[in-house]
Amino acid sequence: CVQVLLGFERGVAMGDQKLDESSIRRLVMASQNAKLHAYCPYSQFRVGAALLSLDGRIFTGCNVENSSYGLSICAERTAMVKAVSNGYQKFKAIAVATDIRDKTGSPCGACRQFLSEFGLDWMVILTKPDLSYTCLTVGDLLPHHFSSEDLKADRLH
The whole-angstrom separation of Cα 64 and Cα 18 is: 31
Per-residue pLDDT, 8: 40
Query: Can you name the residues that pair with 96 across neighbouring β-strands?
Result: 49, 126
Instruction: Kindly give, in sequence order, each residue whose CB lies less than 8 Å from that of residue 88, ignoring residues fewer than 6 positions away.
Output: 53, 57, 59
Q: Higher confidence at residue 145 or residue 142? A: 142
Q: Which residues are catalytic?
A: 76
Q: Is the confidence at residue 3, as pLDDT, over 50? A: no
The stretch 124-133 carries a mean pLDDT of 97
The whole-angstrom separation of Cα 124 and Cα 115 is: 9
Per-residue pLDDT, 17: 59
Lowest mean pLDDT segment, chosen from 13-22, 64-73, 90-99: 13-22
**Residue 54 in 3-state DSSP?**
coil
Q: Is the confidence at residue 151, as pLDDT, over 90? A: no
pTM, two decimal places: 0.88
Mean pLDDT of the chain: 90
Per-residue pLDDT, 10: 44
Helix, strand, coil tally for the chain in percent (to 5): 30, 25, 45
**Residue 149 in 3-state DSSP?**
helix
Burial track 115-139 (b if 16+ CB lie within 10 A, e otherwise) = bbebebebbbbbbbeebbbbbbbbb
